[in-house]
Copies of this chain bind each other. A is one copy, B any other.
Amino acid sequence: MADATLRDVARASGCSIATVSRVLAGTRPVGPETARRVREAAEALGYRPNQAARALRSRSTGTVGLVLPQITNPFYPALVRELTHALHADGRAVLLADCDDDPAAEAEYIDDLLSRRVDALLVIPADERRSRDAVAAAAARVPLVLMDRGCGPGIADSVAVDNAAGMALVLGHLAATGRRRVCYLGADGTASAAAERRAAYAAGAAVLDAGAPGRVALGDFSVEWGRAAVDLVWDARPDALVCANDLIAVGALQRLQQRGADVPGDVAVTGFDDIPMAALAAPGITTVRQPVAELAAEATQLLSRRLAAPGSEGPQRAIRLAPELVVRESSAVRGGDGAAARSTG
């Protein structure tokens, strides 16, 4: 049995296609009796509007493309979850593309999504520089919101956590709990998260410990780098390691424990993002929690606004949301009981 169409419903309810369409879409008032008949017929036939036809006619697919660099990066699943929920709540569906950290693949996916006539795009760019052209071209065609990482200035609306504020929280916490010899295990990419956290650390560390700047080691956002980086700063005898994200922190923690260092007794460790693993490490890792649900809400709101306006009206917006410090055992006060301040499922 083929799908029921407006035609079928019209025939069954004894009125015209146009009327059926109006009843179901509610675009224009329709007589109560007719409306009832139409609704009954639609129900009886199990009518489901054909979104392809609707898209063709109304030039809107009700679909948003979500392009991300690596779904296996443990920070993204939570973000994807919130984004899909927020978009579905708006009646939109999500086309997912994972570009495997490859800007070329990313460009291809963006192209494909555009050809599929997505109403808008949410992009977490794979590379600050090399993603730029494709993203800019796409932004010229549909509303586009950059998330998490930037992509050069003036490209599109963007939503991200306030990395500087987060880093300040960490440094403040460490200073308040008596840590004095802080080192930074960061990432050296041009990605905005890497750059901003790096800069914020530099700024904050100067204040914290003006005379003796903590050592800084830069690599990438991985557990392996976290392990390796510990050795690079070891000679500085740090009493705290500030890591640019939780993966680095996990690696650092492992290496510290291998070396027989006591965490947090000898050295505190902090991360960034609050991925699930941060809560589950032993000791739990103090970190900066990104307001994932709020980030998603802001992003979808931004999209809705652009979609509501006819042209790409209004100035570009760069939204930064304040993160929250989550204190766990890895930065407990020396001699303290080390109980988790909070724990996450």
- Give A contacts to B, CB under 8 Å: 48-53, 55-56, 61-63, 66, 70-72, 74, 76-78, 80-81, 84-85, 88, 93-98, 100, 109, 111-117, 222-224, 250, 254, 257, 276-277, 280-282, 345
- Contact check, A280 vs B117: say whether CB atoms are below 8 A apart: no
User: Bound state CA distance, A29 and B77, in angstroms?
Assistant: 46
Please give the count of copies of this chain that the complex contains.
Answer: 2
| Given A84-B98, A280-B254, also A93-B112 (CB < 8 A) | yes
Give 8 new A-B contacts, CB below 8 A, not counting A71-B77, A80-B96, A282-B282. A50-B56, A52-B116, A53-B56, A66-B96, A76-B77, A84-B97, A85-B100, A94-B97
User: Bound state CA distance, A100 and B112, in angstroms?
Assistant: 28
User: Bound state CA distance, A70 and B80, in angstroms?
Assistant: 10
- Contact check, B81 vs A48: say whether CB atoms are below 8 A apart: no
B residues in contact with A98, CB < 8 Å: 80-81, 84-85
User: Bound state CA distance, A223 and B277, in angstroms?
Assistant: 11
A134 vs chain B, min Cβ distance (A): 14
- Contact check, A116 vs B97: say whether CB atoms are below 8 A apart: no
A24 vs chain B, min Cβ distance (A): 12
A210 vs chain B, min Cβ distance (A): 36
A320 vs chain B, min Cβ distance (A): 24
Q: What 3 pairs between A and B have smallest CB-CB spacing?
A: A52-B55, A96-B96, A48-B115
- Contact check, B280 vs A257: say whether CB atoms are below 8 A apart: no
